[in-house]
């Protein structure tokens, strides 16, 4: 049964800063072309690190989106979030819209928050003593501050908080925003994630836990290879992805352009291990099933899955098995891709930009590829759209994201009839 317009949630705006481009159009152009955004790290000297490559938002100008004085008082992750949010607000034409500001909210997630600030201020402490630590350090590093600063930037006085659930963070933020709109607590929500963890301490931590790819420092374009038999770890990326979500009633009332309808979302936990996914994929299986049930959908109605697909041996194998369990025979026909092969893994921002990929796939009838898929893995034997995008009608698309701590999140978008 169709929900009333006040409970149906649509996407009216999108904003993104990524290693493939500093706006949605350039990002999508890179994704559909199978372009690679991975290179040798430039934000610091990576010479002494086992992994020396990453996905950086090359050319990002913080002062384009924030007052220069204010941008200096915010961590890079917040700067990226403000850029993505302002783009989304502009895309949704919210600037001149008559809004009840207390029904305009914001949930911007981050897996880590101000890691660069923590690193730099710690150096100041040990080199110069406590008086050298910035008085702005705490607001710069806390993981809710992106959401708070975005709200100030766009005048959103409704529900506002940050979510921290590792690499599932942005997808959880989108799901929470949907719930608030459907519960009647907000008309409009900004939702997504931001991350800027391409730092010395970030790389050291992930490298030492053996999570990152180390065999492709001389060939960065080959390093992120989800589902490929030669994958040996993920590649870290940075950026932001933000959506404007509205109740259908509110969007229609103001004559908004609608990109897609968000029809399903769910969240579960493996309750298994702090970093490894449950080998049986039980948590992700239940998450996808609940997202489908929420939208009243059958597995065969999904035309495209943007997989979590991190390029780590365990994750890709587990996600493949979970898709097989949920989709049955349809698992071998539905097209699946991991755009992390091109962007690297944006951690808490991944779900934001990958939601945008799903929406653009629906709008343009293009399923993006998984690049660097060269050597098939017998345990990863589904259709991952190897290396070249495919033209196909996409009416319904799913995005999965998983995080350390056993977090699972899924969202489903559907074409909105115009």
How many CA within 13 A on the CB side of residue 16? 29
The string of DSSP codes covering 109-127 is: E-SS--HHHHHHHHHHHHH
- Dist CA 54 CA 235 (whole Å): 6
User: Are the C-beta atoms of 358 and 265 separated by less than 8 Å?
Assistant: no
Catalytic residue among 51, 106, 167, 287: 167
Which one, of 327, 320, 357, 28, lies nearest residue 170 by Cα? 357
Q: Which residues make Cβ contacts (< 8 Å) with residue 91, sequence separation at least 6?
A: 12, 13, 14, 15, 24, 244
Is 308 one of the annotated active-site residues of the chain? yes
Q: Is 172 a catalytic residue?
A: no
Given the residues 308, 358, 380, 407, the one annotated as active site: 308
Which of 345, 358, 380, 407 is an active site residue?
345
* Token pair recorded at residue 74: 């915010």
Residue 161 to residues 148, 167, 358: CA-CA distances in angstroms?
Answer: 7, 17, 25
Candidates 388, 262, 412, 411; CA nearest to 337 is 388
**93/89 Cα distance (integer angstroms):** 6
> Cβ(53)–Cβ(223) under 8 Å?
yes
Report the catalytic residues: 167, 308, 345
């Amino acid at each position: 049964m169709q929900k009333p317009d006040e409970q149906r949630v649509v996407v009216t705006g999108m904003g993104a800063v990524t290693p493939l481009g500093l706006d949605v159009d350039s990002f999508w152009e890179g994704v559909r072309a199978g372009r690679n955004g991975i290179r040798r790290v430039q934000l610091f000297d990576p010479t002494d690190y086992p992994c020396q490559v990453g996905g950086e938002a090359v050319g990002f100008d913080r002062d384009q989106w924030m007052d220069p004085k204010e941008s200096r008082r915010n961590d890079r992750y917040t700067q990226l979030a403000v850029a993505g949010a302002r783009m989304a607000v502009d895309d949704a034409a919210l600037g001149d819209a008559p809004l009840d500001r207390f029904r305009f909210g914001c949930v911007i997630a981050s897996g880590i928050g101000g890691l660069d600030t923590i690193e730099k201020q710690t150096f100041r402490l040990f080199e110069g003593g406590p008086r050298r630590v910035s008085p702005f350090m705490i607001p710069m590093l806390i993981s809710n501050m992106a959401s708070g600063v975005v709200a100030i930037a766009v005048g959103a006085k409704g529900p506002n908080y940050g979510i921290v659930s590792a690499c599932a963070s942005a997808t959880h933020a989108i799901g929470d925003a949907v719930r608030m709109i459907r519960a009647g607590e907000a008309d409009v929500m900004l939702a997504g994630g931001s991350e800027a963890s391409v730092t010395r301490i970030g790389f050291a931590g992930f490298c030492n836990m053996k999570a990152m790819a180390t065999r492709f420092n001389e060939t960065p374009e080959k390093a992120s290879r989800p589902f490929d038999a030669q994958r040996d770890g993920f590649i870290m990326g940075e950026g932001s992805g933000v959506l404007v979500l509205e109740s259908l009633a509110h969007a229609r009332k103001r004559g908004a352009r609608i990109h897609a309808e968000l029809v399903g979302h769910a969240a579960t936990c493996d309750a298994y291990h702090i970093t490894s996914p449950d080998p049986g994929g039980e948590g992700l299986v239940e998450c996808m099933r609940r997202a489908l049930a929420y939208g009243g959908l059958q597995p065969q109605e999904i035309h495209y899955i943007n997989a979590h697909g991190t390029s780590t041996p365990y994750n890709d194998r587990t996600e493949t098995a979970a898709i097989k369990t949920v989709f049955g025979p349809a698992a071998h026909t539905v097209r699946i891709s991991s755009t992390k092969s091109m962007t690297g893994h944006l951690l808490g921002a991944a779900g934001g930009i990958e939601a945008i990929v799903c929406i653009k796939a629906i709008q343009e009838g293009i399923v993006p590829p998984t690049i660097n898929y060269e050597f098939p893995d017998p345990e990863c034997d589904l259709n991952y759209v190897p290396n070249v995008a495919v033209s196909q009608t996409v009416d319904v698309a799913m995005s999965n994201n998983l995080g350390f701590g056993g977090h699972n999140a899924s969202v489903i978008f559907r074409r909105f009839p115009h």
